Each structure stands twice: as C-alpha cells, then as structure tokens.
Chain A
C-alpha cells in the first residue's frame, strides 16, 4: 500500500510540472517592428536614433567607426564611462579634430592614442588604411533610412509625411558624406530585401554626376515638405536648401576643376559646372530672401570679438539653420567632448590643447584695416612684443576663434602678470640676448621659466604651434576634470556658409558684384575692412577664415583640386620667450606691474615632422574604396590610383 502511495505521489509530481512551458518567452528589452510604426512617439525615437547615427560630427572620425555590427556608429555618452570610453571613443570630439588636423588648419597635438593618424598627413591616405572611411556605416544608416521612408509611405500616423521628409534629408546628407569622399557610389534608395536579385545585392557605382544630382534634387524636393521653423535640431526647409547649395557648389567645382575618370564614376563633365553653380545660387537666394535668417549680430554691443564667439555659444541664434543640440545633465544627457579637447588650461592627463593652429594659418587673418596679416618673420623675431602689438589689430575672427599667449581664460594662472590669462611662454630671454632654459628647475630669479599652459610642452619633445582653438569653447570650461561635458550646440549649417557658397557660386558664374557684396557682409560682421575687388583667392581665403575648424577646409581644398600643393607644404609654429628686461622694468615702487609683458618670438619650422613634410597624394582627391569592399562586390570599381 505504502509503495503504491509513493508511486502515486511521484506520478502526481510528474504531471504537475512536466508541462512546465518555459519555452515561450517574450523579450523585455525591445519593441517589435509593428509596435514601433504604429506609435508616433516611438517613430520619433527611432528618428532620433537616425539623427544620432548621422554624420554631423563624426564626419571624418576614425576608421574604427566603420563597420555596421554589432554596435555601430558614434557613441556620445555611456553609462560604463571610463577614461578611454569618453575620450578615445567620443567620436564627437575626434571627428571635427581629424577633419581639422588632416588639413592645413592645425596640427594634432601628438598626445594620446591617435598619434598614428599623424602619418596620414605626412604620407597620405593609403589604399587599405581605412582612414576617414564612411562606407559601411553610411550604407548601414542608408538602409535604416530607406526602411523608415518606406514605412512612412503607408503609415496612417498624422506626422508620417513630416517624418518621411526628415528621413529623406538624413539620407541625402548621408550620401553627401559618401560622395564627397568617394565620388560616385551605388545609389540605393529602396530597402534591399534579403531575397533580392543579384543585381540589386551587388550594385555597381553610379556616376558621380548621378549622385550629386540625386542629392540636390532630393533636397529641393523635400524643402517644400519640411517645416520652415521647427527647432534647429530638426531638418528644416532651410537646412535642405543649405545642403542643396553646398552639394551644388561641390559638384560645380568638381566639374570645373576636376577630371572625369572611370567613365564618369569620378568627375563631372566641365560643361555641367555652370548649371550646378546656378543651382547653388538659387538655393542660397531662397534662404537669403525667405528664411528670415541672417548673420548673428546680437552681441555686437559687447564688441565684434564677443559677438563672433557668441555665434557658437548662443543657442538657436538667427544664424543657425541646423545644429546638433546638446544639453546638460538633468532630464537626460547629450553632451560632447570639445571643451576638454580644446581647452587651454594645463591638465592632468594629456588632454586639452588637442589642435594647434599653424602659424601659416594665422597669417591668413589680416589686420582690421584690411592690410595683409603676413608680417616679415625677421621683423617679428627682431624685438620683444606685447601681445596687443602682435594680435590686437588682427581680424577679430582670429581673436575670437583661436587662443594664444595672454588670451583671457578664467582661472588660468596667467603668470607673470595677473591671473585669468593663458600663459604659454617657454623660456626667458635675458637682456644679454641669451636664453634661460632651465626647464627642470623652472625658475629664474624667482620667476617661472615656462607658463602654466606649457606643462606638456615645456621640455620641447612635443611641439606646440603657439595657438589653440577657441571656437565653440565655453568660457571658463576646463580640461582639468571631466571629459564629455560640452553643452554647446554643434552647428551643421549656418547662414555665413550660405553667403560664402553664394559668393563663390556667383563668382564662378561671373556675378562678381553679388560675390563681393556677400563677402563684405561677412567681413563687416567680423569687423574687418570691406574688400574693394573680388577674386577667387579672396573668396577662398574668406571661407578659410570664416569657416575655420568647422570641417570645411579639407573638403574645400579637395574640390578646388589644390590640395596637392596646399597640403604638401611644411608648416611652422611659434614659441614665446619672456622678455626679462621688460619684466624687471615694469615694477613700480609699490611692486605693482605697470606695463604689459613683452615676449620674443621664435619660429619652429617643419613642425609636423623634421624628417618628413606633409604630403597630399593626387589619388586622395577620392578616397579608396578598399580591397575588402571591392573583393566582396566585383561590380565596384576602385578609384583611380589605388
């Protein structure tokens, strides 16, 4: 009986649990496709992701971002934040920096993990280096955009058409990033299904002309679908027109200055140039006449320099056509790492002062009366100068957007005169003309031998050009404590660029008067004398000065096809030396400083490398597609020269 009882118990237990169905589980961390497309908020969240994945800032970042899986693209801010994560991986800091340092605007500071990238400046970009690649990521994003555009086509959501237009803008912007690199690329405007015919899966390249036309036409089409005045974070009608004007300008100059090769996969027939320039002009004119946007002058009351700084600090000002918004802690975090990369303060771990503008770059900024900024170098080294003598009368844009010795900076030590200024002399020049360099003891008669901002550069094993980048820098930000902390917005399109696009396109089509007028609008806002005559070189120089450090210069030099000469030059920097005589004589009876300090200037030539000057390879007008990519798809033809 007992046995039967046990057997029964056991059998009962079996029946009770044997059907335990643990196999039907639903995910707790994801929405299904169907759920997303029926909910306006979820669609907008997906759209936010697509914006975040777009090339606004990581534009020209590292090769390590090229590859769609498993975690693609740029990462702004992570909960697992650590040193390398924030600094090494924060593409938001690195992207703009790379675009700047590959060009002739500035030198990478050679500190930190990216030292290797220096070699691309010296030796050019090789076939399989992957440097500045935007291919796999680009197509990864493209597919998601296509999927969204198609999903919105049949959607019943009220905002479906608006969402669709924004996605189309992002797609055009994404193609722009690819075409400016590679020339013609395969234009894929529908989501390719897995079982698509082979011809769709292995597409050939479209011609460069087809690509530019596609981008321009898309922009013009969606300009009428997009809202006129959403937040500047959203693509607006004006953003679409601004992209159209930029793309048409690129296409026009490539047609005019470039050569057609590979049956039009790269290059555009010269006869097309005029048409493109005209399209650019039309897009610009529409913005100039209808958008209500203009050059920012809201802080003019505080001076031209402050006004120019505020163009990048006052959020959503009337110059901004589109920007990537950043906001601080509280209700979420969306920040970037520009401040810590560029801040002049000395720092504890080799960050800050990442980009050093070259002296040759600085020479492009004329004096406010319009006279040339190029000063005879022998004159410069012949005497000691106050900073005001050197830079006081320069183009306010130089003073607003770069910093150098004695630049006002909150809490910087500022020795030997006063605080709150950057101090970056390196050595002391004695009255007998000899230099006192004891950088180890760092003292001469009770005075430091080098300024606090030269901490990393004092020994001379790392070269400093004497200048830093101040555009976008929040006053008082520092590189002493935290990485991803910049809350400034990153401007994707601003009105000044539209004026410059307009001026260039007008000049190229013979409308010199309009060109001159546009350039002078820019100059007068900057606080520098108007030009009397207009030349293509003047327009290009204006573009360099106005749009410096904004990821334009490298691409401009390429489309003008002058990178081979302009980016194959040695650059130099300057070193400041404290003038001892003026230091000693400036003390009054009460021990107060009565005069501004003077500094000697020394030039440091071949500052990129003493053994190798920068090289721009002629094939780098188009980046290599790469063996890995062409091997998978034999229909892709590699760019010439690789």
Chain B
C-alpha cells in the first residue's frame, strides 16, 4: 500500500508540473479555417491522418472516413500532416487544400541487425526479433538484462536474485540454454553496458544464427551500441533517482513463535509434556516482549531498510556530417544495498566514444572505444559474492529475537545465535569487513571500409577489436566476538566468534581477446533482382591469467594490507589459459522484387579446444521467404501491407567443453603431508578423448509475418524444432563404475526442443492519441531423444529412470494428499512404507500423507511420479503498451511466465524458523505447508507436498512521461525536455508470493536476497 501511495504522489507531482507548463500556451490571433482532403498516391483517401498546427501542437484534428478535415488555425500557420506508413508533409494553411501523402518507403524497410550486417525487414527470412533504444530505456535500470523480459518473443528471462551487481536476469532463447551474446561484433555481455548506450538488441532464434557457427547453437543475442549520425550536434542528458525495495519477503518468526515451535518439536520428539521448554506464561511474556528476559527483538527492521536509493545519470553527445560522424557517452549508476547504511553498494561507470570518417570517397575509417568500470562493495560475510542467498537467510532468519539487539555494555556485541554472530555486525562493512571488486573492461575497435573501385556494390572491410579486462578483488574478513548477557547474574558469556579468523585475500584476473575480421561485401540491385554476398575471415585469440594471495590472523586491521597479517599464513596461487579460434564465413542473399527471397550461409569454425583433425566444423543454413502480399493476385488487397511466409533450416554448434579435453594430463589438486613436507597432489584429468568435438544443433523454423491496415494489425507466428546432437556426456551412465576412470566426455546424448511463438500487435494514431500495443507468447519444452545409460528392464525403472524419450526437466517425487489430520486417521491408514520396514509406528497427525500411486499397498520408490516441470518456465508472455497523447506518454511492459514449479522447503526441521509455519494450526492442519516439526522421516522425502506452480504476471516496466512543448523549452535552448515517473516490478500476481518466494527466484524458500521493485523520477533533456 505504501508503495502505491508513494508512486501516486510521484505521478501527481509529474502531472502538476505538466499542467503548469501547458497552461503557459498563448492563444494566437488572426485565424482561418483550413479545410481539405488527404489522399495517397493511389488516389485513395487517407483515413485518420493527423493534422497539427505547427508551433501549436495542442491544435490538432484528424481526417475522417473520406479523408476530409477541417481546422481553425492562425492565418499564416503551417500544417503538419502525418500518418503512420506515409511520409509526413508540411503545407501552408489555406481555405482549401488537397494533400497527397506518399507511402513511407522506410515503413517496411526498417533495418534489422543480423549477423555481420543488417537486413531490411521486408526481405528477412530468418526468425529474428529486435527492440530498439526507445523501449530499452523506459524506466531506469542498473542491470540492462532486466529490460528484455517480455519484450522479445521467444526470449526466456529469469532474474533470480535482487542483489545489486549480482542480479543478472538469466536469458535464454527458446529454452535453449545460455545464448551467445555479441556486442558490436564481438562476444561480450549485456550487463556491462548501460541501457542508454544501446541502439538495438536483436535475437537470432533459428538458422539465422548459424552464421556464428560453433557457438551459436543456443541462439544469438546481438547488441548494437549507438553511433553518430548525420545531424546537428545533439547533447542528451538523462537523470533519475530511484527508490528500490523488496518485492516479497517473509518476516522472521517472533520470539513467541520460536518458543512455540520448540515446544512443538519437544513434544513431537516424545518429550515429557510436564516439562515443555516454554510454559504458557513464557509464551505470553514473549508475545508481549517487554520483560528483558522475554525479548522479542526486531533484527529485521534493525538492519533492513524499507527503501534503498539508486541513481542513474548519463550524458551523450552525437552528431556528424556526411563525412564525419561522432558519438560520446558517459553513464553513472549507483545502487545501494538494502541493508542499513554503510552496508555496501554497486557502482558502474560507462564510457564510450566513437567516430567514423570518410577519408576519401572510397575509404571510411573509424574507431569505437568503450570503457566500463564497476565496483562492488559488499559486507564480507556469507555468499554475497554469489547471489547472497545464504547471507540473507543467515542474517535475517537465523537471528534469534530472544537475544537483545544491544547489550548493556555497548562495547560488547550481542550474540544472535547465528553463523554471522549478529546481523547488526554482519551487514556493517566497517565491522565485519568487505568484499570489494574493481572491474575494468576496455574495448577498442578500429575499422576501415573500402568501396572497391570499378566494381559497384563491392566493399572490403577490416575490423580489429581488442578487449581487455582487469578485475581485482580485495576481500577482508574481520573478526567479531559475541556475548550473551544474563540479567539475573549480571554476567556476560562469550558465545562465539565470527566464522573466519581475520583474513585478507586479494585476487587479480586479467583477460584479453583480440578479434580480427576481414570481409568482402557485395550488395547490388539488378532491376528487380537484389543480390548481396559476404565473405569473411575471422580469427580470435583469448588469453586469461589470474593470481591471488591471502593472509590470515590480522592482529591489527588498522592497515588493511597483507603486511599486517601473519606471514606464516601466507598463501598464493596463479593460473592461466589460452584459447584460439579461426573461422571462415560466407553468406549469399538473393531476392526478387521483394517477393521471393533466399539466403544461404556457411561458416567453418576451428577451435583450439579440440584435437587436430577434429577442429573444423561446418555450419550451413538455408532460409527462404515469400511475401505473398507482393504477388500480382494480391494487388487488390491493398489493406494488406505484408504477408510473408518464412522457412529455415540451420545448423550450429555449441563448444562449451573444457579446454584441452583431448589431452590427458595431471593437475595440481589436493594436499598430503609426508613428514615435514607437504605435497600438492597431482591428479589425473582422466582419459583423453580426441574425438570430442562441439555438439551440433539443427534448427528448423517456419514462420509467418503479416501486417495489415497500415499496421493496425500486425504479427508473427513461428514454429520451431531444435535437435541437439552429440551433447557431451559421460559414458559412465552405461559403463560400469568398476572401470574406474573418469571417462572422457563424449558427444553422446541428444535432445529435441519444440515450441512456438506468437506475436500480435496494433499501432495507430487517432487524432492526438497514439498507441502501439503488442503481445507475445511463447512455449518450449525439451525431450531427450537419446540418453546414454544402461538399459533398464524393470517397467518402473524404465518409467522413472530411462531418460530417452522423456522430458529433460522432469522432477520425480511422491504424490501426497496433505497431512494426516489426526492420529486416528494414521491408525486407519491402510498403507505402510517399505523403507520404514513397514512400520507406521512413528507416523502422527501432521505427518505427510502419501498416496499409493500404484495401488500395491506399500509406499516405495515404485510410487514415484513426475511431480514437477523444472525451474525454467516453459511459457513466457509479454504485453507492451505504448501510448501517447499530446505531450504525454505512457509505456508499460507486462511479463508473465508459467509452466514451471518450485519445491518449497519450509520443512519442519530447519534451524531457521519461518513464521509461515505459524499460519497453520501447528501439526494437523490439512492445509499445512510444512509437515510436523521433528516428525517422521518420510517428511523429508521429495514429494509434491512442497511443489508449487510458479505462474506469475508482473508489471516489469512502467513509465509515464510528459514532454514540455518545444516552443516553451526552446526559449531556454532545450529542444526536448521530458520528465517521467516510472518503475520496475511495480506489481506481481503470483500464487507463491504468499510464501515469501518470488516466482523468478531459484531459491526454494523465500530467504534469498529479494527481487526489488523500483520507483523512479527522472528527466531527459536534449540540447
């Protein structure tokens, strides 16, 4: 509720400002009524064209069904006549006008980024989806991966943690697994870019990705950053402040709840009822929480704040002439952690500059430089360096409210019965130490493009890219000592120290990649025939090196450097690796009259990861398209903008196998001491496998694109199948373990993924009102078509464990029907458990009631069934809404996913108590979500009792903005001034939110660092 209030007040501020500004508009004098008709080049009326008085954009009208309009304007006014799909025209106002709008050629000729080039939408034959900068920067985000969910049909996104700096959404295309991300032509990452730097993001979902060969099997995400263009110098400033807060969290149990829980455990374990640990009076005293001996400390609110601030600012400059184009960008983001002050932050700086110059009529040279620096500064404890799941759980849920927040002697830290001693200590960097990273990523690209003289349409291009990354880490653990206090005896007891002795470790990771690309491009129209071709050679060398050092036992932490540690404890190490790849790439496109299109690509890839003779792989693809709307027989159907059938078949690879798997060898591993000498053991890396090569993917896709009534209705439908062949696997599944080797990975297994995507949209302008709404939905699921394992003979083992032919993400478990409501029900239960020696004597009310799935009277493994569908959604949906009215704009992106499950593990024997347990009537609630604490061992088994459907719909991105009319802002030299309010994740509908679990989290309990919602206020200024 609170967040809605704050959001509304931000909106109100926004509207209030907008109202004031528009109120300044002055009424012009000397008016005429301009009347007229708008027609197109085919002499047909243009319905719904938008007529605006230039300079007074509140004065607007629209053409009617016969293309007629009428508007009162100043007598010297200029009218701007526009309609989607046509070229905008300006005419002098007159009493009678006849305006002919010509069709906007660009309308269907919008360019889409594809592998190593761009292509017109009209002639595209692959399954490709793209979003452009406008939709990427709706509401401010720090992590650019967050803007993609729901935007691109076929892209599956899941953000598992909300920890700043570690909150990447895991992206996959069509459920394929980790895709190849190409940033400006080289492998890169989306999260290291600012959203503001990005011009477009394209995903290649089918054979169109084959041009990336051995790495492209999981699809390709192409990110293109901004460059200068032929326009006057434009400076754009973007600035926003944001509040972020936890979406869902479960509050930790209170003292009274914990005491009650312990009583339940005590009794369930068969303890003497007259000696329960806490009497009714104790429980009542805990509920009050006033007596110093019966505290109910609120650790949660002591260390977690409601809102953490975030800031996003960036400035860009771009411009150019037809000979020189330039672009510059600087961005800064800061996100603080949700813990109370001095608890850490994530900072990122992005810097980019590029230019291209036409040195001569034939030669263009240019350069692109990007630099990114990011800093993480977290408290040292727990697993904040990963996703913070255990840390959040450790500090929030383990802290025992029966201990005081602070001790009477304030120089001593109060113990909270937890791994990290005390939450107050653990979240404070000054006390517990820090995990500090400095990432530096530098990327520079130089290119030269030569139009080959004498051969029109032929260009040669050289591109050399150098990527350098230097990441350093400084990890300081300080030691805390914690005490308990007994008021009755006025005595302090040392209750424990923090997990680590004081220690400092420093790591440095250096990586560099050089990519060279040399290509020839040919692109020419011959009458109605269009031909384009690409030939390219690409060579890549990646090198990686790291070293680290560590000392322990810091007697003083005043100087936090190695020298202060005990040198006897010094440790260090280093490592390195190299990787090279050579590739030849070819592509040929042919289209006839934009009606028939065919594209073929071939890539040959060689990787140093494989043995000589198994290095080269060849990845061909072919795709065809037929734009039916361009056929003669469809010429009558003028309402049809486009109707295109596409089909493609491609192959690609996936080379994510370890380096040098083809060599056998020995690596340093464990330690063993002989006398005074400690050896670092050399472990065999297992048998070599020279035959190991990348896995091969075959992707088939058929699709249909359509657009009608000038995009009042448009859409795409795609059906696909991907066969993954030769998935590296260990034959140990079928070879006896007595063989004794870590058998090398071989290209063994195979899967088949099938699915579809549908996208429908509509866009139009009705008077002042503009809208563009599109919705998409996609589905995929994968089966094993071959899985190497021993042949099973038992029908139940075949059903359960023979993977071939079954879905890859099945989860097996027992079927249950709630818990036993009473001991009588247990007594009357006719079944028994094999694994408990058919003895039901330990079952009680509140234990899970199993179902005998195969009706054989006993519960054993033969009753296992498929109870879950994996943790990655099979269905993804998105709805994007863009509305504009006069200066106002509204953008909303809804994202939904369903068809996946999680297994809650709020089990009854956990040492971290959860207040959800108390939502039920302790032991015998038929709707219980946890079984009887300290109950029968069968409660531990994997059952559907804990499985929950994760379906959700979430307002992922939302913004409303207002652009102050230019005629006002230009007085202060500003060509565009937009203010906006927006946010992310503003609401979520999900069945599992009530368990404190976010549907996108991987955690099985709601303990992880929570996903965040944000509320932002910002402005865009263009000079």
A439 interface residue (CB < 8 Å to B): yes
The reply to whether B277 and A461 form a contact with Cβ atoms under 8 Å apart is yes
A364 interface residue (CB < 8 Å to B): no
The reply to whether A443 and B670 form a contact with Cβ atoms under 8 Å apart is no
Residue in chain A with minimal CB distance to B935: A611
A228 to chain B, nearest CB (A): 15
The reply to whether B732 and A17 form a contact with Cβ atoms under 8 Å apart is no
Chain A residue numbers with a CB within 8 Å of B793 are 631
Chain B residue numbers with a CB within 8 Å of A611 are 270, 841-842
| Contacting residue for A332 out of B499, B680, B839, B937, CB 8 A | B680
Chain B residue numbers with a CB within 8 Å of A461 are 262, 265-266, 269, 271, 277, 934
Q: How far is the CA of A349 from the CA of B402 in the complex (A)?
A: 16
Q: How far is the CA of A326 from the CA of B493 in the complex (A)?
A: 32
Chain A residue numbers with a CB within 8 Å of B810 are none
The reply to whether B460 and A42 form a contact with Cβ atoms under 8 Å apart is no
B607 interface residue (CB < 8 Å to A): yes
Chain-A contact segment, one of B185-193, B579-587, B850-858, B898-906 = B579-587
Given contacts A82-B383, A442-B486, A609-B269, whether A49 and B669 have CB atoms under 8 Å apart is yes
B355 interface residue (CB < 8 Å to A): no
Q: How far is the CA of A331 from the CA of B402 in the complex (A)?
A: 45
> How many B residues, CB 8 Å from partner?
131
Q: How far is the CA of A480 from the CA of B488 in the complex (A)?
A: 25
A88 to chain B, nearest CB (A): 12
A64 interface residue (CB < 8 Å to B): no
The proximity string for A residues 125-164 relative to B, scoring 1 for CB distances below 8 Å and 0 otherwise, is 0101000000110011111101100000000000000000
Residue in chain B with minimal CB distance to A631: B790
Chain B residue numbers with a CB within 8 Å of A72 are 742
B804 interface residue (CB < 8 Å to A): no
The reply to whether B493 and A452 form a contact with Cβ atoms under 8 Å apart is yes
The proximity string for B residues 443-474 relative to A, scoring 1 for CB distances below 8 Å and 0 otherwise, is 00000101011100000101000000000000
Q: How far is the CA of A334 from the CA of B537 in the complex (A)?
A: 51
Residue in chain A with minimal CB distance to B271: A460
The proximity string for B residues 480-504 relative to A, scoring 1 for CB distances below 8 Å and 0 otherwise, is 0010001111010111111111000
The reply to whether A334 and B682 form a contact with Cβ atoms under 8 Å apart is no
Q: How far is the CA of A305 from the CA of B282 in the complex (A)?
A: 45
Identify the interface centre among B363, B537, B667, B681: most chain A CB within 10 Å of its CB: B681
B980 interface residue (CB < 8 Å to A): no
Given contacts A25-B578, A116-B937, A611-B841, whether A633 and B541 have CB atoms under 8 Å apart is no
The proximity string for A residues 10-49 relative to B, scoring 1 for CB distances below 8 Å and 0 otherwise, is 1001100110111111011111110010000010111011
The reply to whether A25 and B678 form a contact with Cβ atoms under 8 Å apart is no
The reply to whether B734 and A632 form a contact with Cβ atoms under 8 Å apart is yes
Q: How far is the CA of A84 from the CA of B391 in the complex (A)?
A: 12
B540 to chain A, nearest CB (A): 7
Residue in chain B with minimal CB distance to A31: B666
The proximity string for B residues 720-737 relative to A, scoring 1 for CB distances below 8 Å and 0 otherwise, is 000000000010111111
Given contacts A48-B679, A460-B275, whether A348 and B672 have CB atoms under 8 Å apart is no
The reply to whether A629 and B736 form a contact with Cβ atoms under 8 Å apart is yes
Chain A residue numbers with a CB within 8 Å of B680 are 45, 48, 332
Chain B residue numbers with a CB within 8 Å of A201 are 735-736, 739
The reply to whether B453 and A615 form a contact with Cβ atoms under 8 Å apart is no
The reply to whether B735 and A610 form a contact with Cβ atoms under 8 Å apart is no
Q: How far is the CA of A68 from the CA of B548 in the complex (A)?
A: 29
The proximity string for A residues 439-460 relative to B, scoring 1 for CB distances below 8 Å and 0 otherwise, is 1111110111000100100011
Q: How far is the CA of A415 from the CA of B488 in the complex (A)?
A: 14
Chain-B contact segment, one of A1-9, A380-388, A468-476 = A1-9
Query: How many A-B contacts are there with CB distance less than 8 Å?
Result: 345
> How many A residues, CB 8 Å from partner?
125
The reply to whether B674 and A234 form a contact with Cβ atoms under 8 Å apart is yes
A-contacting residues, B609-665, CB 8 Å: 615, 659-660, 663-665
A533 interface residue (CB < 8 Å to B): no
B747 interface residue (CB < 8 Å to A): no
The reply to whether A329 and B673 form a contact with Cβ atoms under 8 Å apart is no
Q: How far is the CA of A119 from the CA of B738 in the complex (A)?
A: 29
The reply to whether B683 and A49 form a contact with Cβ atoms under 8 Å apart is yes
A residues contacting B by CB (< 8 A) are: 2-3, 6-7, 10, 13-14, 17-18, 20-25, 27-33, 36, 42, 44-46, 48-53, 68-70, 72-77, 79, 82-84, 111, 115-116, 118-119, 122-124, 126, 128, 135-136, 139-144, 146-147, 186, 188, 192, 194, 201-203, 231, 233-234, 325-327, 329-334, 346-350, 413, 415, 437, 439-444, 446-448, 452, 455, 459-461, 463, 480-483, 606, 609-612, 615, 617, 627, 629, 631-633, 636
Q: Top 10 nearest A-B pairs by Cβ distance?
A: A348-B496, A610-B270, A443-B488, A22-B580, A49-B681, A143-B740, A231-B675, A30-B665, A48-B679, A332-B678
Can you report 24 A-B residue pairs in the complex whose CB atoms are below 8 A from each other? A3-B362, A20-B516, A21-B582, A22-B540, A30-B685, A72-B742, A75-B670, A79-B571, A83-B390, A139-B738, A140-B740, A144-B740, A188-B740, A329-B569, A330-B569, A440-B402, A448-B488, A448-B491, A481-B479, A482-B501, A611-B270, A612-B841, A627-B797, A633-B738
B residues contacting A by CB (< 8 A) are: 259, 262, 265-266, 269-271, 275, 277-278, 282, 293-294, 360, 362-363, 382-383, 390, 402, 415, 417-419, 421, 448, 450, 452-454, 460, 462, 479, 482, 486-489, 491, 493-501, 516, 518, 537, 539-541, 548, 550, 552, 566, 568-569, 571, 573, 575-582, 606-608, 615, 659-660, 663-676, 678-687, 730, 732-743, 790-793, 797, 834-837, 839, 841-842, 861, 909, 911, 934, 937, 940
